[in-house]
Amino acid sequence: MAVFTREQIEQGLTELGELAHKNNIKVRLVVVGGAAMVLRFSARNSTRDIDAFIQSPEEAKVVRKFVHQIAEEHGWQEDWLNDGAKGYLVGISEGPLLFQSKGIQVYAPSLYQLLTMKLSAWRDDVDIADARRILQEVKQNNSKDEIWNAVEPFLVPGDELTAQYAFLDLWEALYGTD
């Protein structure tokens, strides 16, 4: 399985934008997961794929075709850019612009939604490290209860307890009990 560095992520997104531009399409993506951590925080060097939400559903089929074309040209996995994380999305918030090129704009979700997704996934050391980094970012002037209240609207039904236990464990590890 390939890994995608910041440079490869940006290369793939640039090429996707160029294909979109040639076809008179403007692609708007919200990236989550590892790609968001790489692009927004430089929190790690790479990710296994780019989890993204295509904000223009009517263009999703065309975007997927472009993604497949880019994969073939580079020998990348066919789903190097995919919507596999959509199961962790409740609504979509729009955070900062992470990347822009001709034909494409790429945003991150809000920090609270990104934190919620990491707490809900909570699969491995990578998710835990990502959640730790995001929690440190949102902690600056916020209490534990304020952060949890901001996270709650983004919880996927059925994942509430997993996320809550993960949040409490992480909070205690970073800031102790209060």
pLDDT tens for each residue of 37-85: 999 998 889 999 999 999 887 889 999 999 999 999 999 999 999 988 8
| Model pLDDT, residue 85 | 84
The neighbouring-strand residues paired with 51 are 32, 82
- Please choose, from the candidates 2, 57, 6, 75, the residue with its C-alpha nearest in 3D space to the C-alpha of residue 35: 6
Q: How many CB atoms lie within 10 A of CB 126?
A: 17
Residues 147 and 166 in one domain: yes
Report the number of distinct structural domains present in the chain: 2
C-alpha distances out from residue 1 to 4, 10, 45, 70, 106, Å: 10, 19, 16, 16, 24
Residues 39 and 92 in one domain: yes
| Model pLDDT, residue 16 | 98
Residues 15 and 101 in one domain: yes
Residues 27 and 62 in one domain: yes
Residues 103 and 118 in one domain: no
Residues 140 and 155 in one domain: yes
State pTM to two decimals: 0.91
Residues 15 and 89 in one domain: yes
How would residue 121 be classed by pLDDT, with cut points 50, 70 and 90? confident
Residues 92 and 164 in one domain: no
How would residue 142 be classed by pLDDT, with cut points 50, 70 and 90? very high
Residues 137 and 105 in one domain: no
Domain end, chosen from 109, 126, 145, is at 109
| Burial group, residue 34, by CB count within 10 angstroms (0-12, 13-18, 19+) | buried
Dist. CA 161–CA 166, nearest whole Å: 8
Mean pLDDT of the residues in the chain:
93
- Please choose, from the candidates 37, 58, 56, the residue with its C-alpha nearest in 3D space to the C-alpha of residue 136: 37
Residues 73 and 116 in one domain: no
Residues 99 and 145 in one domain: no
Mean per-residue pLDDT for 110-135?
Answer: 93
* Residue 131 structural domain: 112-175
Contact 115, 131 (CB under 8 A): yes
